[in-house]
Amino acid sequence: MRTVLMVLIVGILVLIAGIATGFLNISQIRRVQAPQVSATRNGVTAKGGQAPAFDVETGSVKVGSTDANVKVPKLVVEKPRQNQAETATNNSM
């Protein structure tokens, strides 16, 4: 239950942020019309009615790449000199 509520809250926040930044534009293009409901002894009937229609415009995101020169550090590995190797083995004993 908490997960569903959290997903719903995040979705609403994303929608609000999209509208506030102008990335999302929602316009209603067709109005709502309620159906005509009539009740008789045989039951309830509904006729007509119309659901609303919306026009949604979204922004676009373009992703590209550029060439760049980056200095990379040079790594040099040297073997230990002979006397360093002897000192290291004598100190470990």
Q: What is the DSSP string of the chain?
A: -HHHHHHHHHHHHHHHHHHHTTSEEEEEEE--BPPEEEEETTEEEEE--B--EEEEEE--------------------PPPHHHHHHHHHHH-
Q: Is residue 43 part of a domain?
A: yes
The pTM assigned to this predicted structure is 0.43
Cα separation values, 28 from 1, 51, 52, 73, Å: 32, 11, 7, 58
Mean pLDDT, rounded, for 41-53: 90
Q: Is residue 71 part of a domain?
A: no
* Number of domains within the chain: 1
Tell me the pLDDT of the chain averaged across its residues: 86
More confident residue, 84 or 76: 76
Q: Is residue 45 part of a domain?
A: yes
Query: Tens digits of per-residue pLDDT, 12-26?
Result: 999 898 888 888 888
Structure confidence at residue 5 (pLDDT): 93
Mean pLDDT, rounded, for 33-55: 90
* Residue 48, domain extent: 25-58
Q: Rounded to a whole number, what is the largest CA-CA distance in the chain? A: 109
Q: Is residue 69 part of a domain?
A: no
Q: How confident is the model at residue 3 (pLDDT cuts 50, 70, 90)?
A: very high
